């Protein structure tokens, strides 16, 4: 197991390096000049030249890459061309909001998707199954930005049940920043009003972002359950006279969990991509908004930073999933 | 007994609740929430800021020596300086001597002339995106600002510089005065306190920076040292990138002012009695740049004239901008001193055709370079370009649209590589020279150069206008210049957009100047 872990962590470094190299390569191929983007239309030629020199943009690409890798080795992601701040500071500011949103969306996906999948499998071909399958199809096929605008129009503008964009009502004061995760910070500060408001603000974007994942989880659970339910040990358990709920939730679900676990890793990828659109529409100050603003400003160091963080998060989650396999299925052993 | 206790408890509860509600209501009345797309806000440091949203924040935190009065940009009025004199210097230069009024920074320290020297020299040393206003336009350097005593400061200018232009540009962010004793100890790694100033403030204006949560909100609170505080004690600028989100937030009362309305939404808001709409002025000009260099498609002025006759300005304003723009055809737009609002060209397709025939350019085909995203007034550049393309086609010019991101477009344009380009311009400081020199003087290596239009007479007039002090003479020079560039220059002006702003009907006293200033302390909210 230890050898496996070491190997995986080693390959993780390569994955992240590969992602970074790809991002750098793309940034060099894009036929646009970050200096022109940063200084705008009115800039004098001398200003553009000075800007390029100051930030090393006048050096050949391979030199820029070596310089970048050298500072990366010391944990320095460089400075953002747009905000002028160290990118690590920017990421520290923006990552918690995305983390909060992504986790909330994931929880939604599991809390809604798993029961829906179980019910659909147990009542196969019944009206409930049909309902779940239809919803899963719609949820999986609906573009996130469309759903976001629709939900905002309905629950915020028309019905007024839920607050609009943003993380917190403008008149409420955010608690002191500890983790940057607003709900957690409010909890730590014991500020119940902020906690309630933050949760209400979180509801819609998490639901929208989680819609696709919910659909995917429901379908995965359904098909995995169907397979397990038709196996001999389930029939044996039923024959022993165990109650149906116990057979389904204990015997079948545990065995159906493995494929679901497998998609969790790739779900995170979908959530991170979805976050870019969701955050823009919901004015959510996270990595997605940051990535959008950085990309439109051709702020390549910032885009590289976001890419590396996303790549790292994705790899770590997938590693965790692999480790969790062992927990769920003792037959699996890594050598 | 029991009942009495219960009744007392109920009364106490009701009183407490209504007090709390009352407090919440008065907090709402003294808090102003503005929703807008502030993604362009990069810094709250007056010495560095060069963005529109920076102006809204910084001008309310840092006072300048001089300022404009609300939306009236025709003359500067006292700011931190209660008076000033302009004098000739020996050796040909001029100097402006400012007499400071008694004022305190939010830190409690008095504003002194050494703070002025510090603020100006700091901006020059940083060399940020707006520093060329000091170094190039005003000809200032380290040592140009001299503290004569605690309340008197002299600014020395070289002979080639017009002091009235310098006064105009001192109203901009870069002229903001900060407390040296507060900022200097916060210099880190040679950043001159730039990092610190993004989370703190040290100005003498009506507000101070409470916090800037990147991509979420900027919060300003009233400066207790400010002598004439307004009724708004707290201003929250919320980031809302989506115009649609701003609209629903304004209609539900979540925000008081919405910064970015689309023309369609603005039209709907005009009919809504719960809202107030403002068409605020801008100095922006949306124009077509026509490459007039030797061998270029628009070398012959008759071909340029044909484009000017072919474009239907009024239809663009009516059908695309829904009224959020005005016609203009010269390089000095309405609102600036020396503005020329004459309409030199009415649409005449036949005339355009005959001009093209005379110039031997019948069947002209050109590449039409346009940016992605929105153009002036918030309309998609692609829609605007399609309208222009159709207008030109009627006159017999085939314009093939090539759309690219703005930064790439600038790179091509800067290298004189465009044939027709759809572009926008706004002056760096509210003075006619901010337009006249870049748009008319080839030697300034700016817009006239990018369109390869070299007209020595226009260059001479622009230089003369820049250095003339007498306003009447200056206006006369600019009158000649605008006419010359309008009829011979390398541009077809399209329109001067308005910046639409919508507020709740409860918001009073909102004014936005064409330069982007909003005096937040003059705003109040009805209950």
Per-residue pLDDT of chain A (335 residues; tens, 9 = 90+): 778 888 888 888 888 888 888 888 887 777 667 777 666 666 667 777 877 887 778 888 888 888 888 888 888 888 887 777 889 988 988 889 999 999 999 999 889 988 898 889 888 888 888 988 888 888 888 888 889 989 988 998 888 888 888 888 877 877 888 888 989 999 998 888 889 999 999 999 999 999 888 888 888 888 888 888 888 888 888 888 888 887 887 778 877 777 778 787 778 777 877 888 899 888 888 888 888 888 877 888 888 888 888 888 888 888 888 888 777 777 777 65
The last residue of a domain, from among A41, A73, A105: A73
Is A183 within a domain? no
Distance CA A313, CA A286 (A): 15
DSSP for residue A176: P
Structural domain includes residue A280: yes
In this prediction, residues B16-28 reach a mean pLDDT of 57
Distance CA B218, CA B34 (A): 10
Q: Distance from A324 to chain B by nearest Cα, in Å?
A: 36
Tokens matching residue A108? 């939604």
Q: Under an 8 A CB cutoff, do A90 and B408 touch?
A: no
Residues A68 and A115 in one domain: no
Report how many domains make up chain A.
2
- Interface membership of A43 toward B (CB under 8 Å): yes
Arithmetic mean of pLDDT, B244-267: 90
pLDDT computed for residue B419 by the predictor: 95
User: In this structure, what token pair is assigned to residue A310?
Assistant: 């996303």
In a shared domain, residues A127 and A69 = no
Do the chains contact at B242 and A283, CB–CB below 8 Å? yes
| Domain co-membership, A111 together with A42 | no
Does the beta-carbon distance from B132 to A84 stay under 8 Å? no
Residue A12 sits in which domain range?
A: 2-73
pLDDT band at B205 (very low <50, low <70, confident <90, very high): very high
- Tell me if B408 and A34 make a contact (CB, 8 A cut-off): no
Mutate to test the interface with B, among A45, A85, A161, A170 (most CBs of B within 10 A): A170
Residues B516 and B430: beta-carbon distance below 8 Å: no
Q: Which residues of B touch A97 (CB under 8 A)?
A: 216
The answer, for A96 touching chain B at a CB cutoff of 8 Å, is no
| Cα–Cα distances in angstroms (integers) from residue B527 to residues A172, B71, B504, in the given order | 19, 26, 12
- Residue B16 confidence class, pLDDT cut points 50, 70, 90: low
Residue A101 and residue A56 share a domain: no
Angle formed by the axes of helices A87-122 and A192-229, nearest 10°: 50
Among the residues of B275-370, which ranges form H helices?
Answer: 301-310, 313-315, 349-358
Taking an 8 Å cut-off on Cβ atoms, the answer to whether A32 and B414 are in contact is no
Any B CB within 8 A of A154 CB: no
Instruction: Say if CB A87 and CB A290 are below 8 A apart.
Output: no
The whole-angstrom distance between B415's CA and the closest CA on chain A is 10
Subunit contact B406:A157, Cβ cutoff 8 A: no
| B466, B162 contact by CB (below 8 A) | yes
CB of A78 closer than 8 Å to CB of A87? yes
Does any domain span residue A185?
no
DSSP assignment of B161-221 equals: S-HHHHHHHTTSGGGB---HHHHGGG--TTSTTHHHHTT-----SSEEEEEEETTTEEEEE
For B141, the token pair is 């350097």
Residues B426, B282 contacting (CB under 8 angstroms): yes
Q: Retrieve residue B413's tokens.
A: 């344009």
Contact B252 A47 (CB under 8 A): no
- What is the C-alpha to C-alpha distance for residues B308 and B491, in angstroms, rounded to an integer? 8
Radius of gyration of chain B (CA): 26
What beta strand segments (E) does chain A contain?
none
| Closest by Cβ to B407, choosing from A36, A166, A286 | A36
CB B385 within 8 A of CB B401: yes
Same domain, A118 and A256: yes
* Interchain contact, A164 vs B252, CB within 8 Å: yes
Residue A263 domain-assigned (yes or no): yes
Examine the domain organization and report whether A229 and A306 are in the same domain: yes
* Burial environment of residue A13 by CB neighbours within 10 A (0 to 12, 13 to 18, 19 or more): exposed
What ipTM does this complex have?
Answer: 0.74
Is B28's CB within 8 Å of A48's CB? no
A311 in reach of chain B (CB within 8 A): no
* Burial bucket for residue B139 (CB in 10 Å: 0-12, 13-18, 19+): middle
- The burial of B16, by beta-carbon neighbours within 10 Å (0-12 exposed, 13-18 middle, 19 or more buried), is given as exposed
**Which of A73, A102, A128 is the last residue in one of the domains?**
A73
**Positive or negative: CA dihedral B310, B315, B321, B326:** positive
User: pLDDT confidence of B187, banded at 50, 70, 90?
Assistant: very high
Q: CB-CB: which of B241, B425, B445 is closest to A280?
A: B241
* CB nearest A83 (choices: B42, B216, B236): B42
Search chain B and give the residue with CA nearest A86.
Answer: B195
Is A295 within 8 Å of chain B by CB? no
Give the H or E element holding residue A299. none
CA distance A271 to A289: 14
Give the span between the Cα atoms of A257 and B392, in whole angstroms: 65
CA dist A269 and B38 (Å) reads: 28
Residue A82 domain-assigned (yes or no):
no
* Assigned domain for A23 exists: yes
Q: The pTM is what?
A: 0.83
The whole-chain average pLDDT of chain B stands at: 91
Q: Do B129 and A47 touch (CB under 8 A)?
A: yes
- Per-residue pLDDT, B42: 85
Query: Are A218 and A310 members of one domain?
Result: yes
User: Of the candidates A45, A73, A101, which is a domain's last residue?
Assistant: A73
Mean pLDDT of B119-137: 91
Dihedrals φ, ψ of B73, to 5°? -100, 15
- Give me the residue from B24, B248, B408 closest to A164, CB to CB: B248
Q: Report, as an integer, the average pLDDT of B221-228.
A: 96
A142 touching B, CB under 8 A? no
Burial annotation B324-352 (CB, 10 A radius, 16+ → b, else e): bbbbbbbbbbbbbbbbbeeeebebeeebb
Average pLDDT over residues B265-279: 94
Q: Return the CATH number at A315.
A: 1.10.3720.10
- Cβ B372 vs Cβ B319: under 8 Å: no
CB contact under 8 A, B213 and A174: yes
Those residues whose C-beta lies under 8 Å from the C-beta of residue A217, and which sit 6 or more positions away, are A109, A110, A112, A113, A114, A117, A260, A263, A267
Higher pLDDT, A153 or B155: B155
Q: Which residues of A touch B214 (CB under 8 A)?
A: 83, 90, 93-94, 285
Size of interface A-B (CB pairs under 8 A): 124
Q: Which of A31, A36, A87, A193 to mutate to test the interface with B (most CBs of B within 10 A)?
A: A36
Is the pLDDT assigned to residue B21 strictly greater than 70? no
Residue A10: strand, helix, or coil: helix
C-beta atoms of A43 and B445 within 8 A: no
- pLDDT value for B1: 44
Residues B274-289 have a mean pLDDT of: 95
Distance in angstroms (rounded) separating the CA atoms of residues A227 and A221: 10
Whether A257 and A287 share a structural domain = yes
Tokens 């039209």 sit at which residue? B267
Residue A33 lies in a domain: yes
- B123: closest CA among B110, B104, B138? B138
Distance from CA of A138 to the nearest CA of B (A): 25
Cβ partners under 8 Å of residue B515, min gap 6: B55, B68, B73, B171, B172, B283, B430
Are the Cβ atoms of B31 and A93 closer than 8 angstroms? no
Query: d(Cα A118, Cα B313) in Å, to the nearest integer?
Result: 63
Q: Judge if A37 and A133 occupy the same domain.
A: no
CA nearest to A258, candidates A317, A329, A185, A312: A329
| First-to-final CA distance of chain B | 41
Distance, in Å, from the CA atom of B422 to the CA atom of B375, rounded to the nearest integer, reads 9
Q: pLDDT at residue B103 above 80?
A: yes
**A94, A290 contact by CB (below 8 A):** yes
Chain B residues whose CB is inside 8 A of the A277 CB are none
Mutation choice for A interface testing from B25, B38, B216 by most A CBs within 10 A: B216
Of the two residues A30 and B176, the one the predictor is more confident about is B176
- A13 lies in some domain: yes
Say yes or no: A37 contacts chain B, CB-CB below 8 A: yes
Shared-domain flag, residues A68 and A103? no
**Same domain for A155 and A119:** yes
Distance CA A96, CA B86 (A): 54
Binary contact (B252, A43; C-beta < 8 A)? no
In this structure, are A261 and A314 located in the same domain? yes
Chain B residue numbers with beta carbons less than 8 Å from the beta carbon of A170 are 31, 33, 217, 236, 238, 254-255
Q: What is the dihedral of CA B211, B217, B223, B228, to 10 degrees?
A: 180
| Residue A160 burial by Cβ neighbours in a 10 Å radius (0-12, 13-18, 19+) | exposed
Helix (H) or strand (E) segment spanning residue A284:
none
Mean pLDDT check: name the lowest of B262-271, B320-329, B369-378: B369-378
A45 close contact with B: CB closer than 8 A = yes
Q: A238-247, B31-40, B120-129: which has the minimum mean pLDDT?
A: A238-247
Q: Which chain B residues are Cβ-neighbours of A283 within 8 angstroms?
A: 216, 238-242, 245
Could A166 and B24 be called an inter-chain contact, meaning their C-beta atoms sit closer than 8 Å? no
Phi-psi region of B93 (alpha: psi -120 to 50; beta: other; left: phi over 0): beta
């Amino acid at each position: 197991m230890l050898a496996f872990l070491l190997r995986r962590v080693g390959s993780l470094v390569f994955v992240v390096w590969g992602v970074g190299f790809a991002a750098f390569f793309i940034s060099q191929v894009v036929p646009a000049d970050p200096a022109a983007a940063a200084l705008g239309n009115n800039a004098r030629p001398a200003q553009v030249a000075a800007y390029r020199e100051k930030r090393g943009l006048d050096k050949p690409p391979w030199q820029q890459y070596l310089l970048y890798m050298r500072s990366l080795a010391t944990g320095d992601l460089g400075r953002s061309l747009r905000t002028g701040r160290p990118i690590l500071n920017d990421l520290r500011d923006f990552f918690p909001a995305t983390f909060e949103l992504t986790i909330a969306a994931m929880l939604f996906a599991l809390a809604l998707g798993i029961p829906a999948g179980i019910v659909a499998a147990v009542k196969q071909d019944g009206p409930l199954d049909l309902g779940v399958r239809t919803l899963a199809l719609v949820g999986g096929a609906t573009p996130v930005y469309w759903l976001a605008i629709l939900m905002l129009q309905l629950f915020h503008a028309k019905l007024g049940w839920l607050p609009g964009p943003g993380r917190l009502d403008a008149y409420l004061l955010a608690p002191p920043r500890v983790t940057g995760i607003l709900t957690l910070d409010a909890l730590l500060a014991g500020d119940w009003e902020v906690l309630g408001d933050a949760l209400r603000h979180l509801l819609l974007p998490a639901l929208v972002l989680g819609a696709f994942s919910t659909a995917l989880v429901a379908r995965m659970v359904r098909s995995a359950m169907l397979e397990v339910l038709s196996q001999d040990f389930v029939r044996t358990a039923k024959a022993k006279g165990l109650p149906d709920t116990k057979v389904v939730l204990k015997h079948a679900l545990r065995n159906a969990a493995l494929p679901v676990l497998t998609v969790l890793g790739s779900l995170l990828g979908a959530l991170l991509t979805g976050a870019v659109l969701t955050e823009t529409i919901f004015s959510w100050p996270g990595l997605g908004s940051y990535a959008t603003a950085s990309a439109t400003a051709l702020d390549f160091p910032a885009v590289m930073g976001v890419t590396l963080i996303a790549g790292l998060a994705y790899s770590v989650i997938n590693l965790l999933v692999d480790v969790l396999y062992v927990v769920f299925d003792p037959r699996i052993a890594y050598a | 007994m029991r009942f009495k206790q219960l009744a007392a408890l109920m009364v106490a509860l009701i009183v407490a609740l209504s007090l709390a509600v009352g407090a919440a209501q008065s907090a709402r009345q003294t808090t102003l929430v503005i929703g807008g797309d502030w993604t362009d806000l990069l810094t709250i440091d007056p010495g560095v800021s060069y963005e529109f949203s920076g102006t809204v924040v910084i001008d309310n935190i840092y006072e300048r020596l001089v300022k404009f009065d609300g939306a009236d940009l025709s003359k500067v009025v006292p700011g931190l300086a209660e008076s000033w004199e302009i004098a000739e210097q020996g050796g040909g230069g001029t100097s402006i001597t400012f007499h400071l009024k008694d004022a305190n920074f939010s830190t409690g320290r008095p504003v002194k002339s050494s703070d002025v020297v510090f603020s100006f020299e700091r901006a020059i040393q940083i060399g940020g995106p707006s520093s060329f206003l000091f170094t190039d336009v005003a000809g200032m350097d380290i040592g140009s600002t001299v503290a004569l005593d605690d309340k008197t400061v002299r600014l020395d200018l070289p002979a080639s510089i017009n002091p009235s232009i310098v006064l105009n540009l001192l109203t901009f962010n870069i002229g903001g005065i900060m407390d040296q004793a507060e900022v200097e100890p916060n210099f880190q790694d040679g950043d001159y306190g730039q990092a610190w100033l993004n989370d703190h403030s040290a100005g003498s204006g009506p507000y101070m920076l409470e916090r800037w949560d990147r991509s979420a909100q900027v919060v300003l609170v009233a400066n207790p040292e400010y002598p004439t505080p307004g009724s708004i004690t707290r201003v929250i600028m919320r980031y809302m990138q989506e115009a649609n989100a701003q609209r629903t937030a304004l209609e539900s009362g979540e925000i008081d002012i919405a910064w970015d309305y689309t023309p369609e939404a603005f039209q709907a808001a005009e009919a809504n009695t719960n809202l107030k709409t403002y068409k605020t002025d801008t100095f922006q000009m949306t124009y077509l740049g026509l490459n007039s260099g030797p061998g270029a498609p628009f070398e012959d002025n008759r071909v340029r004239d044909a484009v000017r006759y072919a474009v239907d300005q009024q239809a663009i304003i009516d059908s695309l901008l829904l009224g959020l723009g005005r016609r203009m055809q010269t390089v000095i737009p309405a609102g600036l001193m020396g503005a020329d609002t004459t309409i030199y060209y009415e649409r005449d397709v036949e005339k355009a055709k005959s001009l093209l025939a005379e110039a031997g350019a019948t069947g002209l085909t050109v590449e039409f370079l346009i940016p992605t995203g929105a153009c002036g007034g918030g309309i998609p550049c692609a829609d605007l370009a399609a309208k222009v393309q159709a207008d030109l086609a009627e006159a017999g010019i085939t314009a093939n649209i090539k759309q690219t991101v703005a930064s790439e477009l600038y790179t091509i344009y800067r290298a004189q590589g465009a044939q027709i380009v759809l572009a926008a311009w706004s002056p760096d400081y509210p003075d006619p020279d901010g337009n006249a020199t870049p748009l008319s003087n080839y030697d300034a290596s700016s817009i006239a150069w990018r369109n390869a239009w070299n007209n020595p007479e226009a260059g001479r007039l622009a230089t003369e206008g820049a250095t003339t002090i007498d306003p009447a003479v200056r206006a006369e020079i600019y009158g000649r210049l605008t006419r010359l560039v309008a009829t011979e220059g390398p541009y077809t002006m399209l329109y001067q957009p308005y910046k639409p702003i919508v507020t709740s009907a409860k918001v009073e006293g909102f004014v936005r100047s064409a330069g982007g200033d909003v005096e937040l302390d003059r705003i109040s909210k009805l209950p």
